[in-house]
Amino acid sequence: MGKSTFLGGIHPYEGKKLTMDKPTTVLLPKGDLVFPMSQHIGAPAKPIVAVGDHVLVGQKIGEAGGFISSNIISSVSGSVKAIEKRLVVSGKLEESIVIENDHEYKTVEGYGTKRDYTKMSKDEIRGAVKEAGIVGLGGAGFPTNVKLAPKDENAIDFVVVNGAECEPYLTSDYRMMMEEPEKIVGGLKIMLRLFDHAKGIIAIEDNKPEAIEKFKQLTSSEERIEVQALKTKYPQGGERQLVYVTTGRKLNSKKLPADVGCVVDNVATVAAIYMAVARSTPLTNRIVTISGDAVTNPQNFNVPIGTDFGEIVEAAGGFKAQPEKIVFGGPMMGMAMYTYHIPVTKTTSSLVSFLQDEAAVEESPCIRCGRCIEHCPLQLAPVQLAKAAAHNDEEGFVSMDGLECCGCGCCSYVCPAKIGLTQKIMQTRNQILANRKKAK
C-alpha cells in the first residue's frame, strides 16, 4: 500500500545538526505575553476576559468564534493589560489579549489532573480536545477537534502521525519525539479510540534513525500501530505526499485526508491531544527551534505560547552578527519578518536567522531547463503557470491546475535562473480563490 517515495521534491541543505542533539530548554518569559485571537484557520476567537481581569495558567481567554475556530488559552498567570491590535507573523495587526506576567504561573483548578481516557466516551475526548484549543501545530493550524469528527468515523482507515519534519533547520518535532515519545504514542492511542477501524502509522524521515528506533521499541506490542521510515526528501511532510507514501492514496487540493480515509496530525499535535485528554492540560506551551547561522547558541526551547520571540533569542545568546533575514517557520515555506518582536503562537515552530539572504538574487531569463517541472511534487509545470500568471491568464492558469499548487517552494529553489516561481504562482492562486469566494 505504502510507496517508497513520491515523484519530484528536493534535497536542500538540512541544517538540522545545529540543534538536533541539544536537549530542549524550558524558558519562562519575563515580559508581557501576547495572545492573538487568530492563531488558526477559520474564524478568530472572541475575547472573554476584560482589561484588569486576573487570569491563570490554563484559563480560557478567547472563545472559539465559529465551527471552524479554536479557543485561546492563557499560558501565564497575571492580569489582562490590554486588548488591542498587535503585530503577528503574517505582518498583519491582529486583535490580541496582552497579559502582564505575575511570574507565579498559578494554574486553574484541575489543571494537570490525570484522567483515564479508556473510560471516556468519544464525545468526551473530542470535547476535551476542543476545550484545550488544539489546532494543527505543524503550521496549518486547522482545528483538531474538527479533524477528529469526520462525517463517517468508520470510513477512517489510517491515522497518520506526521514526524517527517522535512523543513530544513527545524528540529522541534524531533526533540519532542526524542524527549517525550510516550506522549505521542499515548495521543495516537487516544485517536485510535475514536476510529475503531483505523490503523495508526507513525511516519518519520530516515534522517532521524534514533527516533525511528525509539518508536519501534515503544510500539512493539501495539497491534494497531506501525512505525514507517520515510525517505528523506522535501516536502515529505506535506499532507499529500505523506498520505501517498504511507497509504498509497492520492489527495488533491479539493479533497481532505478524511475523503480518502485518513486523519493526519503532526507529532506535536498528537502529544497535545494526549496532554489535553489524559492530563487535563490545555495547549499552553510549544517547542520552538531557534536556529540559523546568525544565532549564537542555536537550540530548542519549550516556551509558553504568547512569549515574545525577542526573549527567546536573548536566551539563545542573541545574534553573533546582524542577520540579514529572519524567517518564522522553515526556510522553504516560512514567513520572513522585518522584526522578531512578535509573540509565539500555536503554529510558529521556529525562528531561523540568516547572515545572508539566499533569495536576494536577480532573476535572469528562463532557459527552459525543465527543473521546476521535474522537481514539482504535484507534477505541475511551474514555469508555464508563472507565465500564465504574468499574463493575467486566469483561464489558462486554472486549466493547467495552478490551483493545485501547495506552495512548497521546490520550483523556486531549483530554478537556475532564480525566478520566483512559487511567489508568482501562489499570488495568482490566492487571488483567484479570493475572487471566487467573493463571487459566492
Partner 1 sequence: MNDLFHVSAAPHARSPITTRNIMQDVVIALLPASLFGIYNFGIRALSVILTTILACTVTEYVYCRLMKKQVNPADYSDVVTGLLLALNLPVSIPLWMAALGGVFAILIVKMLYGGLGQNFMNPALAARVFLLISFPGQMTNFAVEKISSPTALDYINNGAVAVVDSVSGVTPLAAVKAGETVDLFRMFVGNHAGTIGETSALALLLGAGYLLYRKVISLRIPLTYIVSVVIFALLFGGHGLDANYLLGQVLGGGLILGAFYMATDYVTSPASHKGQIIYGIFLGVLTGIFRIVGKSVEGVSYAIVIGNLVVPLIDKVTRPVSFGKERAKVEK
CB 290 within 8 A of CB 302: no
Neighbours of 365 (CB within 10 A): 7
**What residues does 26 pair with on adjacent strands?**
302
Question: For the chain, what is the radius of gyration of the CA atoms?
Answer: 21
Kindly tell me which of 244 and 274 has the beta carbon lying closer to partner 1.
Answer: 244
Kindly tell me which of 206 and 324 has the beta carbon lying closer to partner 1.
Answer: 324
Least spacing, CB of residue 345 vs partner 1, in Å:
17
Kindly tell me which of 21 and 324 has the beta carbon lying closer to partner 1.
Answer: 324
What residue type is 94 in one-letter code? Answer: E
Burial of 65 (0-12, 13-18, 19+ CB in 10 A): middle
Least spacing, CB of residue 372 vs partner 1, in Å:
9
Neighbours of 217 (CB within 10 A): 11
Kindly tell me which of 7 and 51 has the beta carbon lying closer to partner 1.
Answer: 7
* Displacement of CA 250 from its chain's centroid (Å): 21
Least spacing, CB of residue 384 vs partner 1, in Å:
8
Least spacing, CB of residue 326 vs partner 1, in Å:
5
Cell of 230: 520515510
Cell of 369: 531547463
Least spacing, CB of residue 197 vs partner 1, in Å:
23
Least spacing, CB of residue 166 vs partner 1, in Å:
13
Question: What is the rounded (10 degree) CA torsion for 330, 334, 338, 341?
Answer: -70
Least spacing, CB of residue 255 vs partner 1, in Å:
7
CB 305 within 8 A of CB 29: no
Kindly tell me which of 118 and 322 has the beta carbon lying closer to partner 1.
Answer: 322
Kindly tell me which of 10 and 194 has the beta carbon lying closer to partner 1.
Answer: 10
Least spacing, CB of residue 373 vs partner 1, in Å:
5
Least spacing, CB of residue 403 vs partner 1, in Å:
10
Kindly tell me which of 10 and 188 has the beta carbon lying closer to partner 1.
Answer: 10
Kindly tell me which of 35 and 244 has the beta carbon lying closer to partner 1.
Answer: 244
Kindly tell me which of 273 and 405 has the beta carbon lying closer to partner 1.
Answer: 405
Least spacing, CB of residue 321 vs partner 1, in Å:
12
Kindly tell me which of 1 and 360 has the beta carbon lying closer to partner 1.
Answer: 360
Least spacing, CB of residue 408 vs partner 1, in Å:
8
Kindly tell me which of 83 and 89 has the beta carbon lying closer to partner 1.
Answer: 89
Binding site for partner 1 (CB under 8 A): 6-7, 10, 12-13, 91, 168, 240, 244, 250-253, 255, 322-327, 331-340, 354, 357-361, 364-371, 373-374, 377-381, 383-384, 400-401, 404, 407, 409, 412-418, 420, 422-423, 426
